Structure 1
Amino acid sequence: MTSKYSKFFSAASEFNLDNFPYYWITQVHSQYVQNVDHALKKYGLDNSRRRILLALKSKPNASVSDLSDMLIFKMSTTTKIIYRLKDEGLVDTYCCEEDARITRVVLTHMGEQMVEKINDLSHIVLDQSFEGLTPLQIEKMLDSLKLIFRNLAH
């Protein structure tokens, strides 16, 4: 490890938790999830179900496997949540015509309506979280996070 990064890592003698980037990434994410969960309670949803619904909005007819990969969930967890959403009338499932081993998931009309409600609530939380930042600062933060992700994905 090069010394130019040493103050950011826990092995350094001058380490301070406030300088550890992953501490802040997890803190921000946890607070975001907590705020969104609180807002979603009035619709009887939680963060896991919200994430699947939003993923289906961005990738209609996704397979269970696709959703697991997108959301970094275990396949068993994804399956359990999808069938819970199905019982609630928010999604439907069907067998893929090309490969019957693949289960595809689609939003129902009720699911589409729920996504609209989720987006309305999420905008409030995002507005709150980005207060004091310029769009350029947010874009730079996104670029940095994408770069860090690509570095870790190798």
Structure 2
Amino acid sequence: MSKKKGDKKAKPGKKKDHAGLSVVDLAPTITHAARSMRTALTRSLGESGLYAGQDGVILALAEEEGMTPGQLALRLGVKAPTMTRTIGRMEAQGFLERRADETDGRLTKVFLTHNGLKTVEQIGRSVSECGEQAARGLSDKEVRTLLKLLKLVEQNLQPAQEEDQDSLDD
């Protein structure tokens, strides 16, 4: 008698059977995984003096120097007042500086300081180490599949992209 796919029973002492999982488990599972990743990354970045979320600001400015606080907030998916407080804190820590725009004095742009630039490499190492820790026990193919699926989940949760997709389907 051969077993069909999905007819597997949990064996005592073996990995937990996940057959009972459903879409209602998706949000809490992703939230817990993201929180665990953020905690591990924060621990890894601790010696640099960076706090949770500040690494994203530095990496965004490393890609594109001289963004306004509003542009940074939009790119990182946070509200403008949150970004303004984060920038103020990071400026006090010596990672960033604000300067008036050269062509429009009404605009303030944010730039990395020398100390901010020095943390880019450390952030990269920490992100890599945390990624390796999170992927422990997964094959390369499973990691690629997980990334593809998480990106799809993220796209599905973006209202503007959802509306754009709906208009493409018409």
TM-superposed CA distance for 1:18, in Å, is: 8.6
144 and 16 in structure 1: CA distance in 2 versus 1, 3 angstrom threshold: closer
Contact kept? 1:96, 1:103, Cα under 8 Å? yes
Q: Deviations over 1:35-66 (max 9, x none)?
A: 11122222222112222112212222222111
16 and 133 in structure 1: CA distance in 2 versus 1, 3 angstrom threshold: closer
> Match for 1:49 among 44, 50, 54?
54
1:77 equivalent in alignment to 2:82: yes
Length-normalised TM-score, structure 2: 0.72
The CA distance in 2 between the partners of 1:142 and 1:111, in whole Å, is 29
The letter of the residue matching 1:23 is P
Q: Deviations over 1:112-131 (max 9, x none)?
A: 11121222222211111112
The CA distance in 2 between the partners of 1:30 and 1:17, in whole Å, is 21
Q: Which sections of structure 1, spanning at least 5 residues, go unmatched? A: 1-14
Structure 1, 144-153 or 110-119: larger mean CA deviation: 144-153
133 and 58 in structure 1: CA distance in 2 versus 1, 3 angstrom threshold: farther
Give the aligned CA root-mean-square deviation in angstroms: 2.2
Q: Which structure features the higher share of helix residues?
A: 1
Give the total of aligned pairs: 140
State the match for 1:10 in structure 2: none
Length-normalised TM-score, structure 1: 0.78
1:149 equivalent in alignment to 2:151: no
- Name the SS of the counterpart of 2:105 in structure 1: coil
State the match for 1:126 in structure 2: 131
